[in-house]
Chains A and B, each alone.
Chain A
């Protein structure tokens, strides 16, 4: 079936350290998968962080990057130097299901805690 698996949290890193949150997907019924990272900061709603709809392309936002790798079915989120304000819950999501459902398939979310 279609599913998303991401790094189990919580993930704790120190400020200015690098970060990678792994995301792999299975898209057995989706011809052209689209991939997204969403983020929920404390006290706020779920926000789109970045998206990539073409295999081999990279998306970036707020210093975060993710490359859509069709061969490894991965979409890992990376940041070279995290800040305390990056503490949040990060969700990898899979879209591209044909028809009108517009369904996004989410991973369980990864809680990131950045220590000062």
Chain B
């Protein structure tokens, strides 16, 4: 069975501090990986996608970056957090293009103060 793990579960960080969020998918080989973000009261927005190791494409510019150092790992990071980065971050995996469903991790709650 496939499992998707995200870390940390929650973070409280200061404005201007760095951030690193992680995601690991087990039980699937070479999945497409995605990062989504949900601001409080907002909808889920796709931030990044990756179809292979080492390749990440940005969908929305939020002063964040992402990397895929391994087939089963997806990292979201920034060197300087903004208040507007607060929200809920979800990692997801799927296969193929848009005609397929995606499976989401438990998420990370980020609060920037």
Give A1-23 as 1s and 0s: 1 = Cβ < 8 Å from B's Cβ atoms.
00010000000000000000000
B104 touches A45 (CB 8 A): yes
Residues of A within 8 A of B107 (CB): 45-46
B106 touches A96 (CB 8 A): no
Q: A107-B43, A108-B42 are in contact. Are A101 and B59 (CB under 8 A)?
A: yes
- A103 CB-CB contact with B under 8 Å: yes
Interface size on B, residues (CB 8 A): 26
Q: A100-B32, A101-B49, A101-B57 are in contact. Are A109 and B43 (CB under 8 A)?
A: yes
Q: Which of B12-20, B62-70, B76-84, B91-99 lines the interface with chain A?
A: B91-99
Give B34-67 as 1s and 0s: 1 = Cβ < 8 Å from A's Cβ atoms.
1000000111111001010000010100000000
Partner of A97, one of B43, B51, B97, B104: B97
A38-60, CB < 8 A from B:
38, 44-48, 51, 53
- Binding site secondary structure of chain A: loop
Q: A46-B104, A48-B103, A109-B43 are in contact. Are A102 and B96 (CB under 8 A)?
A: yes
- B87 CB-CB contact with A under 8 Å: no
